[in-house]
């Protein structure tokens, strides 16, 4: 993860296929980073350069719950998270793009 200061940090789940991996989502001026809790099966870290984020948006997890955050990359890759304080996190990412 970047040495820059943390701009936003929250508990999160990252969808990796059909598996929801619990951990922390952290934003610095350079990276959006996910670190899974140690006990998860798919615990590899994820670092997304802020410069490569095309958009951030909302979705409803399980089609109902308004806590989903979707990050679309310029490469076409898409990452879906379930987060606390979704609007605050989206605003923080947008302020860095």
Pick the CATH number of 8-96 from 3.40.1390.10, 3.40.50.20, 2.30.29.30, 3.40.50.150: 2.30.29.30
Residue 97: CB atoms within 10 A of its CB come to 11
Q: What is the pTM of this model?
A: 0.88
- In tens, the pLDDT along 38-94 reads 877 778 899 999 999 999 999 998 888 899 999 999 999 999 999 988 999 999 999
What are the structural domain ranges in the chain?
A: 8-96
Check: CB of residue 96 under 8 Å from CB of residue 29: yes
Rounded CA-CA distance 60/37 in Å is 23
Check: CB of residue 31 under 8 Å from CB of residue 49: yes
Of 34, 18, 36, 37, nearest in space to 26 by CA: 34
- In tens, the pLDDT along 16-45 reads 888 889 999 999 999 999 999 887 777 889
């Amino acid at each position: 993860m970047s040495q820059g200061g943390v701009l936003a940090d929250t508990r999160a789940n990252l969808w990796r296929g059909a598996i929801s991996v619990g951990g922390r989502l952290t934003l610095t001026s350079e990276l959006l980073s996910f670190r899974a809790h140690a006990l998860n099966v798919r615990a590899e870290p994820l670092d997304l350069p802020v410069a490569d984020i095309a958009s951030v948006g909302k979705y409803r997890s399980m089609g109902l719950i308004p806590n989903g955050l979707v990050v679309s990359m310029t490469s076409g890759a898409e990452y879906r998270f379930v987060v606390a304080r979704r609007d605050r996190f989206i605003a923080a990412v947008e302020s860095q793009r």
